[in-house]
Amino acid sequence: MDGVKIKIENIGEIKNGLLKLYPRSRQVNAALQSSLKKAAEPLKTKLKQMVPKDQKKLEKSIKIFPSKRNTKAGRPSVFVGPKVERDNEGKKIRSNNPAEYFYILEYGFKPGGGDKKINGLGLLPKVTAAAGPQALKNIEGEVIKTLNKRSQKLFGKKLI
């Protein structure tokens, strides 16, 4: 392998270079979102293993889903957990909602507060500690794959 030296003057150069390689567009954001979903699989698997098994509905409802809004930088993000179930009109939250049950398990109270406070299970920090490193490795691999595809398209050769 050839020796390559890279001299970085400041982080702004890296940002500008990545923005040129990855301009904000629907197509690029879709590719990034797909990479994020693949990378988040270990988090989903670990969370499914850690939730109480008293209600299979909660375990089945845990998914990876996109956020409705992009980040401040205009890039997509994904969430891992139970998705809020709404009625057919999309307005009211359904009763017996797994997402609300998960919220109570995690924090010890209902969304918006409640009259009783109990200690929550705190699953999210545990899941992050257990499966986070693997998810970060997956993100690195997925980003390199996506960078290489984009580079191949633009320059006719892979970056890495």
Q: By CB neighbour count within 10 A (0-12 exposed, 13-18 middle, 19+ buried), where does 131 fall?
A: buried
DSSP string, 125-138: HHHHHHHHHHHHHH
Closest residue by Cα to residue 34 from 143, 125, 157:
143
Answer whether 100's CB lies under 8 Å from 93's CB.
Answer: yes
Please determine, for residue 143, whether its predicted confidence score (pLDDT) is greater than 70: yes
pLDDT at 1: 43
pLDDT at 71: 75
Give the model confidence (pLDDT) of 104-133 as tens digits. Answer: 777 776 555 555 555 677 888 888 899 989
Dihedral of CA atoms 64, 67, 68, 72 in degrees, nearest 10, equals -160
Q: State how far the Cα of 92 lies from the Cα of 85, in Å rounded to an integer.
A: 9
The Cβ of residue 83 has, within 10 Å, a number of other Cβ atoms equal to 14
pLDDT at 111: 57
Closest residue by Cα to residue 132 from 58, 92, 140:
140
Q: Which one is predicted more confidently, 155 or 22?
A: 155
Q: Which one is predicted more confidently, 146 or 115?
A: 146
Give the model confidence (pLDDT) of 27-73 as tens digits. Answer: 778 888 888 899 999 999 999 888 887 767 888 888 998 887 777 77
